[in-house]
Structure 1
């Protein structure tokens, strides 16, 4: 109760009236089957269209080798054609399905593809260059020194086409200048690259496909060093202020001194002994004379060859960051750095690799080695991390590419290469090896080329696939497999294992639905059965939680561009979802056109009325062709011998009502069990059932005829109340489908009229 302990105004929120019950979704499906790739651990994955399914689980499957195919397809009791699963998924979306949870089944003998990177320094060609060119644009200059001997290699066949030495570089544009013209053209699209030194076979990183199967043999991986940040080097505080002036008069070529305009601070008394200036992006060491008549003479120390300079040319003083080698530098933005970070110091004429030991106050960064003797404020410290590119070219068409930037090589936590791929990549996993080095000159590279293809392992293990793999095991939430894994998703209301007619698998699917009591199963018969065969197949089943459809469908297989027979369960589940969305769960999912099948002869067998006269009473739902109406579902019966649960829509309507009331009345638990609560429960449930009745799901001209809700002393005894039980009795009158439409016509004779 609220407390009123001091004078004042109190504003309170008071619950008024019953709490509404929201109807649960009835069109979300869950399917279990073999896919080309995709996650095998964790909960089933949601896909909302077939393209998303292909992206996550791959495309259509080829028929397995004859021995495996025949072992499954010719087994009348424990067989199946599991390789048709993607066709069933496509049928689900073709027929109006919108949400599908998929659990991949994989053989216990399947092995993921893998590959190992060695060590070396490789940089891809970023721009084409013709024969005779003396400059190259590379993908990166990380690990280079600026005076390296390089090999230029053709990407198509990894043949060396030239060797050269770098004489100059520009780290911003990633251009290098060679000591000799190229003897042959280089092309970026061909995958040409530059290599420094030789490669070592020492293992650095091992990659594997993130799920088992032969699909991984088509996965390629590339790891490259990359610059995550370019941080300016700060000058030594003792260097004084920044000065910018200009030439006061022309300077002839190779002059030993220049005259500039006097500016505040440009005085030898205010400057250190060594002064450096920047002219046309070149540094010169100068001595500064005393200003006179508004001008200052700067004399070059040593020889300073240069072109003629014109009056007005900018002359800028450039300050030193260090005066002598040492392990520290002041870095702007040092907060971007971290302990053991790999960096590359670019002084304009040299590239130096340094590892960060610590980041102190006042932007002082300590490295594991000394910096060059002279470092100026024009230098940049590059934070070196890695970029991983992955690519999978699907043999069935299409491809998946991924790029992950700014990854640390070492460790396995967030932000590292191993940790990021484990949590985000749909294609690969990585593991560090003992030989992994943080030195960019010994970066992870394949034995040849710049891409690693995962050629080790990569087997589907189809020969080891068993019905137990489809049934699955219960390892707890998130660790279940097969049919059992569908338990992890409460939203699922339709279940199927397309293409598998194994009695063990279908019994497990029925048991799954009967235990959870919130979902309905769609079963597939064996392919090729005749009328007697389908009746014999149906005999072992008696359940109100499943339906059986016959015959199989004829669809186009994009993998072979041929028409093949496919199991009906995927298409039927899509029709269930479509009917629920358009009409409601109370509408029988029948008399609906089957989409996504061959327009003519889309059914594997012709079912006539006389055939269906035998099938319908036994709960076998026929798929039939009607001239002018197309190919339709012509049955809506469950596999139950109980006539109360004969129809699919009645069973699913009660599942909808039970689950909606269950989820919408959870607030009642632990409330005081008194008449006030009973009245609220009655009103809550009555309001929900009234809405359902008005939608046409319940029979009756009035709400009283459609349902009743009792929750009072007539449903509970004192013993029930003492034991914490609140009992609410609900009765509903479902609408039954007009399965037999009968028109009785008789002759009417004309009665004689008396005049």
Structure 2
């Protein structure tokens, strides 16, 4: 109860009355079957279209060898697992909208893998003629700069085009290019993937092992790539002892004849007479010192002044301040907050490139793992060297799926590192690091190497196998995987509460179908659609159906015929997928109380769409046994012409009655969870009774219940007549509900008699 301890206005929220019950969905299906690829661990995956199924699980399956097909054709424990994708297609063609798929994988299936080495490569980004000495490349990360010897190779065959070439100069920025000491002597192609590498390769060693994300031969079509990328360009900040900044100008031309450099002395007044400083003139940095004054100007002594500078009066002269002293390991970096311990930084003094590893970050002061031999200035930037990983899958039709993961750390254990990111986010591959190895390393002289090596795109190996010929009944039944602790096969469907229709299309194994029925009977929230064995006669299907007695499943006969999407030839497909789609379509259009019968079967051949042509006489033998016929009617097409369960109990004879009760039970269970732990007394009983009655009234008004009044359609009792004193003392609230379902008009009978015309008086 609320407390009122001081005067004022108080607002209270009170319950308005019974809480509404929302009807649960009944059109969501779950299927178990063999696919080309796709997730095999964890919960079933939801797909909402056949296109999404193809993207996630692949397309059609190859037919097995004749020996395997004969073994799987066993009358008791067989099945045509390779028809599963066509059954899924039939589900969506017939109006299905949501399907959970659990992939079945043979215990003999294996993942395709590849081990990557270490090295360095940079792809050529623009074609070059044989007489060209300057070539444009993707990056220079890990290279050492001027004087380095590189080799050039073909991208398609890795054949050597240039065995040795010396780097004469280089440029990094918007365009990265290398100028060699001599022309390449052969044409280079960017489209072919030609690339440069250090001429002296590093010692071979495995670094990262990539494996397909799931078992199967599909993994042989996967390629992986690892390469360094420049994640950030960060400015260097001046050392605290580097002096004040200034910008001035030349007061006279500087040429070969007039070699003295003069600037206004007022602009450099803050520089000491014997102080060395550095200036930037026309893009080059020079060491300078103040010399003699001349009027308002002062002469600058420039170290390494070009013989013929050709500088003009008024050319800008800007002081650049050093960021470090040679040999130092610490310097200031702008944006140091973007760095992290163990990050790799590339330094560039215009002649040499080197990489250092960050060991400490304190504000904007960054400490690296080895001394910096050169002096760097505040007009220069350092490159944060990070990793980029990519995976590419090319399916049988040539369609390509690409994944790219950028800005990764060269660290084997970090959450944002190369290995853990790929392992956690890729849907194509997983990654693991070879024990005891690092992902990047090297020296100032030889340059750096990176995981992934100089191989470029690398295909996963031929060790990825489907193992289709070794599929067993136990693979479909499933259970808890002893290695991962995750459920497989039919057992995995139990984890998805939304599933209301379930099937294992194409599998007629008694063990598999009994497992599916058992799950439906245990959970009591789903209904199974079973396939008979392919090629059965009318007598054969009666014998096949004989062992089953359940109110939670239905069987349909015969198999349906579609045009194969590839060959265009007639192809028999199990009916379960198409029928599950009819269930879903009927639920959405009419409601779960409507029998899923007298409905057109879509997605099959208009003529000869059924493997067996059934007549009324045939159905006279099938219908009493609870075998639902698929029949062709001239002018009406191919239709579902039966709505019976496999139960011997006449109360549960019809599919729609059983599924209506599943709907009612699930909806009431989920809609009354708020009752738990409420005070178990008359006010609660009345509220529960009203809540359930309101829901059943809505169901009755939708046409799902029989009767012309609510009293004829349902009753709800929740009072002392439904609960004993013992029930109340043990915390039990008992509510008794009765409903009158609408049964389908299975036999429509019109009684017609001949009426004799009476004699009329004259």
With normalisation by structure 2, the TM-score equals 0.95
String of CA shifts for 1:21-49, please: whole Å, max 9, x gaps.
11111011111111111222111111111
Aligned residue in 2 for 1:403: 404
Quick check: 2:36–2:216 contact (8 Å CA) kept in 1? Answer: yes
Are 2:422 and 1:421 aligned? yes
Equivalent in the alignment of 1:443: 450
Relative distance call for 1:698 and 1:272 in structure 2 (3 A) is farther
Question: For residues 435 and 254 of structure 1, what CA distance do their matches in structure 2 show?
Answer: 60
Unaligned regions of 5+ residues in structure 2, if any? 443-447
Deviations 1:376-426 (A, max 9, x none): 112222221211110111124422210011222323342122211222111
The reply to whether residue 26 of structure 1 matches residue 26 of structure 2 is yes
In the aligned structure 2, how far is the partner of 1:619 from the partner of 1:16?
A: 48
| Post-superposition offset of 1:753 | 4.3
* 1:459 aligned onto 2:465: yes
Shift of 1:288: 3.0
Match of 1:710 in 2: 717
User: Which residue matches 2:218?
Assistant: 215
Aligned residue-pair number: 751
Tell me if structure 2 keeps the 8 A contact 1:118–1:200: no
- Note if contact 2:45-2:102 (Cα within 8 Å) is conserved in structure 1: yes
Q: Which residue of 2 aligns with 1:55?
A: 55
1:268-325 Cα deviation digits (max 9, x unpaired): 6458722222122211222235776654443322332455233433322211112322
List, as ranges, runs of 4+ consecutive aligned residues in structure 1 with deviation greater than 6 Å.
none
8 Å CA contact 1:517, 1:655 repeated in 2: yes
The answer on whether the counterparts of 1:396 and 1:559 sit within 8 Å (CA) in structure 2 is: no
Distance of 2:600 and 2:204 partners within structure 1: 61
State whether structure 2 residue 667 is matched by structure 1 residue 667: no
Corresponding position: 1:132 with 2:135: no
Gaps of 5+ in 1: none
| Distance in 1 (alpha carbons) for counterparts of 2:525 and 2:573 | 27
1:227 to 227, 230, 242: 230
Q: Is the 8 A contact 1:700 1:733 kept in 2?
A: yes
Query: Counterparts of 1:298 and 1:627 in 2: how far apart (Å)?
Result: 104
Partner of 2:641: 634
Q: 2:480 aligns to what?
A: 474
User: Counterpart of 1:309?
Assistant: 311
Query: In the aligned structure 1, how far is the partner of 2:348 from the partner of 2:551?
Result: 75
How far apart, CA to CA, are the structure 1 residues paired with 2:566 and 2:397? 6
Moved more, 339-348 or 34-43: 339-348
- Name the residue aligned to 2:249: 246
Please point out which of 274, 280, 284 is paired with 1:282.
284
Instruction: Name the CA distance, whole Å, in 2 between partners of 1:113 and 1:670.
Output: 53
The answer for the alignment partner of 1:102 in structure 2 is 101
CA 1:268–1:538: 2 relative to 1, 3 Å? same
- Distance between the aligned counterparts of 1:394 and 1:379, measured in 2? 46
* Distance change >3 Å, CA 308–CA 728, structure 1 → 2: same
* 1:430 maps onto 2:437 in alignment: no
Counterpart Cα distance in 1 of 2:642 and 2:22? 30
For 1:68-93, what per-residue CA distance to the aligned partner results, in whole angstroms no more than 9, with x for missing partners? 22210x21100001111111111111
- Contact conserved, 1:117 with 1:203, CA < 8 A, in 2? yes
Aligned to 2:40: 40
Structure 2: distance between partners of 1:305 and 1:566: 86
- Aligned mate of 2:706, from 674, 681, 699: 699
Question: CA 1:648–1:292 in structure 2 vs 1: closer, same or farther (change >3 Å)?
Answer: farther
Deviation at 1:261, TM superposition (A): 4.9
**CA distance in structure 2 between the aligned counterparts of 1:306 and 1:527, rounded to whole angstroms:** 92
Alpha-carbon contact 2:345-2:356 (below 8 Å) kept: yes
Counterpart CA distance in 2 for 1:52 and 1:506 is 27
Instruction: Kindly indicate whether the alpha-carbon contact (under 8 Å) linking 2:29 and 2:500 is maintained by their aligned counterparts in 1.
Output: yes
Tell me the residue number matched to 1:678.
Answer: 685
Determine the structure 1 residue equivalent to 2:658: 651
Q: How does 1:246-395 map to 2 (within 5 A)?
A: 246-252=249-255, 256-261=259-264, 264=267, 266-267=268-269, 269=271, 273-289=275-291, 295-305=297-307, 307-361=309-363, 363-395=364-396
In the alignment, which residue of structure 2 is the partner of 1:144? 143
Return the offset for 1:587: 1.1
Distance 1:247 1:742, change over 3 A: farther
Q: CA-to-partner distance for each residue in 1:193-240, whole Å, 9 max, x for gaps?
A: 211132533111111111111111111101001122211111112223
**Which residue of structure 2 lines up, in the alignment, with residue 159 of structure 1?**
159
TM superposition score normalised by structure 1: 0.95
3-state SS of paired residue (1:98): coil
1:271 and 1:38 mapped to 2: Cα distance? 74
Distance (Å, rounded) in 1 between the aligned partners of 2:292 and 2:13? 83
Return closer, same or farther for 1:695/1:348 CA change in 2, 3 Å cut-off.
farther
Residue 186 of structure 1 aligns to a residue in which SS?
coil
Superposition CA RMSD, Å? 2.1
Q: Is the 8 A contact 1:277 1:317 kept in 2?
A: yes
Is the 8 Å Cα contact of residues 43 and 478 (structure 1) preserved in structure 2?
A: no
